Structure 1
Amino acid sequence: MRALVAGVESYEAGSAWDLDGPVRDALGYVHWLRELGVPDQDMTLLLSPLARNRTLADTAGLPHRPADRDTVHRVLARELADERSDWLLVAWSGHGLIDADRNRRLLFADAVQRDLRCLDVEAALALYRSDGAPGHPRQLWLLDACQTYADTAATAGALRPDPLPRAIPRQRADQHVLFACGPGETTRNGMRSGVFSAEALRLLRDHPDWRTSPRPLAEALRGRFGNTTSLWFEGDGEAHRTVGHRSTVVPAPRRATPRRRLELADKRRLHDALAAVEVMRRPESRGQIIGLLPEAMAGSVPRQAQTRLEILGLIDTCVTFSDGLTPLWEAVSLVDPGTPAAEALLGVLRDYPEWFTDPGPDGG
């Protein structure tokens, strides 16, 4: 068992951002983990406490570091990524938001209004579903943070998510993620300790087996909080996202076992067909195409400034999934429908049935 627990109360932005409660939330998880028998050396504690809570943090009996950008990056991209466990817990309590592209962000302690340093939640989850962090086959992420939409005028140019490494998605990743609230909503903690964290801990204490099979935990939390709790499961080949009582199931592609290897000549042919499509030539529209892919795929595409390298990385990512070229075609044909270059691309993709399902003679 391994755990990363973070509580962020104090921000460089000043007292207007203060939260009184995340340190208590974090220490609650520490106490519970100790009850389970997890040794202190298997827990990483990141705390940025208010002045009045520093004694509480310092007397917890567990060393802690600040939850700033450099420390969080080191922990996620190097320390935890290189370790192994049969079960990983990541618990975070602090400020959060959603940017203009609907990406979830968790603010670091060294964030200020003109430099909103933050964790890209989707990128972190993608990293821990990939070969970049292969040692944690079962994971539970509990994120007690608001998901209010950022003011695009106020945050323009200031929202700076920390770039995390990208790697090839694993064939199986039992990753279970619970957010304290749904998109556009605030948590119920106000300025005091988060009731989401407290309720999650109560349920986990009452039902210890829920930590490794957390679907009942999700149902119980939705029953407690109703529409204020959102859920995202990545595991068993399906991504389940729910908000309140509404649920959708989105197929998540699995790594392919192709009948043949994609040779360099194949990659060149696919590259040339993609590069001929106008929307693939510009970084902005190419980013839109990547953003339309399933999240497990989009989060694994290595972003490059050079067009050729990024298209080749996109191809390499897509063919690690069974039928992985199909969502790529769906994205391209949505943004650039009916052009001669798009039709030529469709003709090339049809020669790769291992990774592509032909939409039929009308192209879709």
Structure 2
Amino acid sequence: MSSVFHPLPAGFDPAPVTLVARRLPWGLILLLGLALGVLPWWGNDYWLNAILIPFLVLSLAGLGLNLLTGYAGQTSVGSAGFMAVGAFATYGLLLRVPQLPLPLAFAGGGLIAAGVGFVFGIPSGRIKGFYLMVTTLAAQFFLEWVFVKFPWFYNNASSGTISAPRLVVLGQDISGPVGRYLLTLVSVVLLTWVAHNLVRSQVGRNWMAIRDMDTAAAVIGIRVDHYKRLAFAASAFYLGIAGALWAFAYLGTASASSFDINRSFQILFIIIIGGMGSIAGSFIGAAFISLLPIFLNQAGQVLLGGSMDPGQLQNLQKVIFGVLIITFLIREPEGLARLLGTLRGRLAVWPLRF
């Protein structure tokens, strides 16, 4: 029996279709459709303001730190300091250049944070490990001190805080919960797409080579010092925009204490629990950090017959985070992202093997 061959139409190239299918799996398309088309109109103000917006901003901050620590292998505990730079720089641009569009102000704040990150990344060419971590810790305290000591950064306000101006994009006021959520979502999706392509580019491959063994990377011709500083700048850019979103889209008002050392440790916990060297791990870790307090509060209502005391809830969170961090660092350094990937692989061949 002869087979019938149906040729493809003239000019049809299946490669782009295959490429899109690979880059945008159906699960991701469904998730984006849900986030853009359903949640803004069906989610209430509590879900938008208290859960979704902080989750997205923390995911972006975790992604920024993951570029530096997970992909480039450079330890940092100064993430919140760079978030503060982005927040105060964006505020200054909106205050002193009022005709500047909001997206450009956010980008400008991110670029200023990138410049500061590049400067603090200069020592990474000579020191590494614990000593580099101490350097970034010094950057955290120094940046906090700067934004407290000099009133110019918060326009000499007696409260020492910055307040979000009216958020306008293309002539539309987006100061409401839905507008701020969409602003955050679009920013996070766009920057995640950029990071996805960045880590698969030559720059990302050089970062991973430096992370695995910087001496070998230097031997094969990679400019190690240059790419380390570039990793600090890229990380600070993401953290700067995350700080601006944290101040303007989530809190509405912020001070230097909004970006203290506890925030830096929170972002570090996100990538340790979610998975270092994984873009998805940043979102998984942020979801865990954001939803754990709600889960513990609900569990307290069921088990104890009432809501848990805030102090007890905070202490319980610290205990759980500490246990999880120790467990992941010892048993699974790649975090929840690796565990979920393993589970998905086993389900793919179930019931033959599990």
Regarding TM over 0.5, the answer is no
Smaller-chain TM-score bracket: under 0.3
Q: Normalized per residue, which structure has more helix?
A: 2
Q: Normalized per residue, which structure has more strand?
A: 1
Q: TM-score, normalised by structure 1?
A: 0.25
Structure number with greater CO (CA < 8 Å, separation at least 6) is: 2
